[in-house]
Structure 1
């Protein structure tokens, strides 16, 4: 497999798709075609542990309990790049719904292909995800061992004013991501970059104008969809107007919901209308919306009242990484996982200690803190997503 060939094929195909790409009304990313009876039958046959496992997407290191760490930056030195015996043994009792790979998990083409193939055999039939936005967040393309196109940023691409440029980039990215065996790209960034002091979003966003960002977000989703990759709108309810970084600690927006509807919600609403299947939360607090300082990932107001209720989103809600400072600095690993699910999260991404979080969620169900029907709601959405991906 030669990446230069992958890119060339993607580029040629993209040129054709640009002229006939889907409109918002016929975009297929949200279509199901799944018989609800088959999903209900599958849920009925699953044990509680199997169902809970579907609600976790984890780092490879989460299954290697011989690795002891307190901050994700420590994992780089381990360079875990294959499924080892410890991971396989732990996975027998701890099924997973998905796995996400980071730059340090990826060495070169042959290693990645081998790793992905083995991951796909793990207990739980895991989906495989990656952060491959284009620009500074590109776990594969930014490796010197891959001959793939590199982009300055999504902001730079969007400056042309032609949404088809974004479509072409997304299709190219989606094509090589698909070729390597991934199912989900945690992109596009749907934030509106309105704060010049923002250190975490910046040019990862398409624009500081909500209407422009909305058009580009839809085109990015279309590009991924044409490459048979599921995209993800992030970071709800909008990370573009803050200046602090949720990777390191507490972050809040002082906007009201009415203010957010005029700006932050515009790209998300457009993406939802276009059929987005996944939305990722931000760990930012929105006290003028919720009346408290809970991160949005743990807020029923943000997830249930606003995202599901007012915006009508019916797909999968995935948390931003739960090992980030905005969560671990103020909430225990187990408590955070429980609170996220109670708030409405479908997939708990990268808990600090997966095994402990998994056990805590199972016990919460057994103790009645979480209704099993609540677990079933999320599993139903996740199985629907998996069926869509198989098509």
Structure 2
């Protein structure tokens, strides 16, 4: 399928991508018996069951080494290293980062094809492409991220952003995304989630999350809701430490659970665990990734999740520090995890899991269950019917003009006018001085909208100050601008606006990306009316607040 070069947000829902992949030369029916999915008149669930009926028998015939290999998704430096991992460890998947993508869209498509060709079973080729603050594929169409989507209040925007992102990922051979974030950002000081969250209202987060999951599914990409049981109320980063979240069971059910429950009910392909300790859910002191009470007791049995359970990166301190690199993957599997993401040393982790499987420390039934879930996901995403990506199509699809138009619309819907005490906005007809992060880009965008730009605050009618997670420094930066009225625009966490009491007007863009900066300029100039609503408490305003001209 060739994506049109021009496509509107309203029409995007009509665009679908064949689940069999993105081009010719597909590696068809690898590793499974041939046969149709059943009667066309059968229900979707019956057809799915028929397509997956071969899996238990196939798992029973796999060697122990092949089964263990399917659990792992390592990172890699280049094609040679990845192919060696495939041959030696039978890995079930691989993960892309900017250093191993293989260049632009066409190069990445060719690398994906080479990796798939090297593997007996189709690979889950994944990426951590959240958009916004966390992006791993620099060539895809840029969207402003989850908190901006939460500010739009439009699930259709979340669906469209995910569908565009998923379409571009699948075009280059990526079939699993470790997104979207399901965490409810309760703590403004949270160092690891922040604008990666859709917001602080569990119900609103659930609506946006399920829409995004649907968008990825329509593009043929497996979505991964993260980070279970909820990473939104912590001031510790699990990359460098082991956060402890003190929510009681009742608080967890009220604040953290609703988005994950909604994702499970929507049939999300995978849920990623968090390296956090929640004593209210498990008093062992183990991180959730290693907790049977959390992964099996809550996620599998309480919420009814039938898809994959994926660990967050096993390189992170929150996963490694208690038990070490050999015991951690074994404990994760026994806790209920199916997919082991980025072990620090694949050889160490593989040998430890293989040894545990041989000895019975990992029960054979637990191992077969995990492998079966992995193969079912590959079947559901069409990988056994073909994985080949077409490099020419990848170049045409990625960054298509219609996709960029969707990003612009979403960014414009997100810009939030939090307050305007003196009626300074819109700025058209005034002369402004712009300072702060992305000042040059914003000044150029304002000039393009007919706003006069001054070289210094002394020559301006209004000073515009941008902030990017400046926190308490925001107040001092406002004072440094002198007596001119100041408009503060938060390009990252809107919590900066809590320190902008001296500003005459405040706005939130939630992102410093090109689409967000261009949209901010249009709103400030009056070309576009502000339509966003705060998805978190910020600037002295409650969630849901937003002004318009």
Q: What band does the TM-score fall into relative to the shorter chain?
A: 0.7 to 0.9
Cα separation, 1, equivalents of 2:195 and 2:219:
24
Q: Structure 1: how far apart are the matches of 2:252 and 2:205?
A: 14
Matched, 1:57 2:49: no
Tell me, yes or no, if the aligned pair for 1:30 and 1:276 is still in contact at 8 Å: no
- 8 A contact 1:254–1:287 mirrored in 2: yes
CA shift for structure 1 position 88: 3.1
TM-score norm. by structure 1 comes to 0.85
> What's the counterpart of residue 316 of structure 1?
308
Aligned to 1:291: 283
Which moved further from structure 2: 380-389 or 123-132?
123-132
What SS class does the counterpart of residue 280 from structure 1 fall into? strand
Over alpha carbons, which structure has the higher Rg? 2
1:17–1:151 distance in 2 versus 1, CA, 3 Å: closer
- Please name the residue that 1:115 is paired with: 111
- Runs of 5+ consecutive residues of structure 1 not aligned to the other structure: 22-27, 61-79
2:225 to 213, 217, 233: 233
Quote the residue 1:196 is aligned against. Answer: 188
1:188–1:220 Cα contact (<8 Å) kept: yes
- Is residue 47 of structure 1 aligned with residue 63 of structure 2? yes
Identify the residue that residue 83 of structure 2 maps to in structure 1. 88
- If each structure's helix is expressed as a fraction of its own residues, which one has the higher value? 1
Q: Does 1:382 align with 2:378?
A: no
Instruction: Within 5 Å, give how 1:329-348 maps onto structure 2.
Output: 329-348=321-340
Alignment pair present for 1:102 and 2:101: no
Q: How does 1:121-136 map to 2 (within 5 A)?
A: 121-123=117-119, 124-136=121-133
Structure-to-structure mapping, 1:331-370, within 5 angstroms: 331-370=323-362
Change (3 A) 1:31 1:132: farther
Does the 8 A contact of 2:51 with 2:379 survive in 1? no
Match of 1:174 among 152, 166, 170: 166
> In the aligned structure 2, how far is the partner of 1:31 from the partner of 1:300?
32
1:337-365 CA deviation, whole Å, 9 max, x = no partner?
A: 11101111111111111111111111111
Aligned residue pairs, count: 354
- After TM superposition, give the deviation of residue 18 of structure 1 in Å: 4.4
Following TM superposition, by how much is the alpha carbon of 1:133 offset from its aligned partner in structure 2, in angstroms?
A: 1.2
Q: How far off is 1:152 after superposition?
A: 2.2
For 1:386 and 1:152, how far apart are their aligned partners in 2?
Answer: 30
How far apart, in 1, do the equivalents of 2:347 and 2:15 lie?
A: 47
Asked whether the 8 Å contact 2:82–2:115 carries over to 1, the reply is no
Q: Please identify runs of 4+ aligned residues in structure 1 that moved more than 6 A.
A: 28-31
Using a 3 Å threshold, how does the CA distance of structure 1 residues 260 and 29 change in structure 2: closer, same or farther?
Answer: farther
Change over 3 Å in CA distance of 1:330–1:149 after alignment to 2: same
The TM-score, its normalising length taken from structure 2, stands at 0.61
Q: Residue in 2 aligned with 1:281? A: 273
| Change over 3 Å in CA distance of 1:184–1:332 after alignment to 2 | same
Between the aligned partners of 1:29 and 1:253, the Cα distance in structure 2 is 38
Measured in 2, the distance between the counterparts of 1:19 and 1:164 equals: 13
What is the root-mean-square deviation in Å for CA atoms of aligned residues?
A: 2.3
The 1:119–1:7 alpha-carbon spacing in structure 2 relative to 1, beyond 3 Å, is farther
Distance 1:6 1:149 in 2: 14
